Homo-oligomer: A and B are copies of this chain.
């Protein structure tokens, strides 16, 4: 068997492990770098390998629209097309259908995963505003493309068929993604539909999936404790290879941590657990402490393209000495970096910090030079890769709280 998931160390509910696929072994906890349209924006596959990136996540919704699942399949599937020899995920497209292929939920469906915005058209729906563009029935979802307004459908069968064509190592069941503003009754109804779709996703995966893929289920249930518990029990009992925590994670970080506390103890410990769309430093630590193995988030790459460049804590303290809580990034567009010959972070060993000054990066950002986005992405992805390695080491040594305190100045309970 070419797939395996093994726990190496535990520390409270936190754990390290190995997630092995036909494309290599991922050391967990790990950050999945976002490659929405089959590319991590602004960097080459070689850059990613050299940075130590272990896995990337592409998106069913985006790739079905452009270039189309058949085209990706003809081009050899995601790995060959991207020249990416390591592990690949695809998300099912459920979240994007509800956030991008829609105008009825604008502004309320952004919790849980923020990577739909990775597509530059995301805030400009092609269809008239106010029209209800997403129609949900038992079969699936009808929606309009956010690119050209063309009518589209996606459901468990089509999502899994497309994911088989894309050919990622790990695929995900098709789900309905609710909003934090949805009522208890609607969230329950949607969750139950998601559970029925989970069974159909497993059937479709058995039909379409190559033997070289594995499927994760998605736990839904919004911010309602009994629903999250019910969903964790249901999804955990189905023969998925791993479990995602998806959907609305509430209205605050406290809500999100509660949801993880309700959910994770109900999931089978032998299965890997992926938290969709989360990536702030504090959230990573808090989620890892509760037993999450993998994440995906646009923060490393999106922040880079905004000019928000990550700082390790000693660098952050030197940079912002008067801030009681050290910042985790600087804004390179700040005028004070104009003539600064220092690197982003004197503690960083990435290509950008070894070679270029803040002043040069600011010039590249001010003039919108393409190299700005490449250099910034190299730095931020390097930061996340190193952060996750430090977290794995801290779990192995039983020192996760100390590492969290070093990064945030705050206290983490590991139990």
**Which of A74-82, A228-236, A285-293, A384-392 touches B?**
A74-82
Chain B residues near A367 (CB, 8 Å)?
Answer: 37, 66
Interface bits A28-63 vs B (CB < 8 Å: 1, else 0): 000000000111111111100000000000000000
Q: How far is the CA of A120 from the CA of B369 in the complex (A)?
A: 10
- The verdict on A43 contacting B81 (CB below 8 Å), with A67-B359, A71-B339 known, is no
Taking a contact as CB atoms under 8 Å apart, the answer to whether B67 and A366 are in contact is: yes
Taking a contact as CB atoms under 8 Å apart, the answer to whether A82 and B37 are in contact is: no
Taking a contact as CB atoms under 8 Å apart, the answer to whether A369 and B39 are in contact is: yes
- The verdict on A357 contacting B66 (CB below 8 Å), with A37-B369, A44-B351, A371-B42 known, is no
Taking a contact as CB atoms under 8 Å apart, the answer to whether B339 and A75 are in contact is: yes
From B67, B362, B366, B374, A370 is in contact (CB under 8 Å) with B374
User: At the interface, yes or no: A197 with Cβ under 8 Å from chain B?
Assistant: no
User: At the interface, yes or no: A375 with Cβ under 8 Å from chain B?
Assistant: yes
Chain A residues 252 to 305 lying within 8 A of chain B, measured CB to CB, are none
Q: How far is the CA of A46 from the CA of B71 in the complex (A)?
A: 33
User: At the interface, yes or no: A323 with Cβ under 8 Å from chain B?
Assistant: no
26 A/B residue pairs, CB under 8 Å, sorted by A: A39-B364, A39-B369, A41-B369, A41-B370, A42-B370, A42-B371, A46-B351, A66-B366, A66-B367, A67-B338, A67-B362, A67-B363, A67-B366, A70-B339, A71-B338, A71-B339, A74-B339, A74-B359, A75-B339, A75-B341, A81-B363, A82-B360, A83-B355, A83-B356, A120-B368, A370-B374
Copies in the complex: 2
Q: Which residue of B lies closest to A84 (CB)?
A: B355
From B46, B83, B357, B369, A81 is in contact (CB under 8 Å) with B357
Chain B residues near A363 (CB, 8 Å)?
Answer: 37-38, 66-67, 71, 81
Q: How far is the CA of A248 from the CA of B399 in the complex (A)?
A: 70
Chain A residues 103 to 126 lying within 8 A of chain B, measured CB to CB, are 120
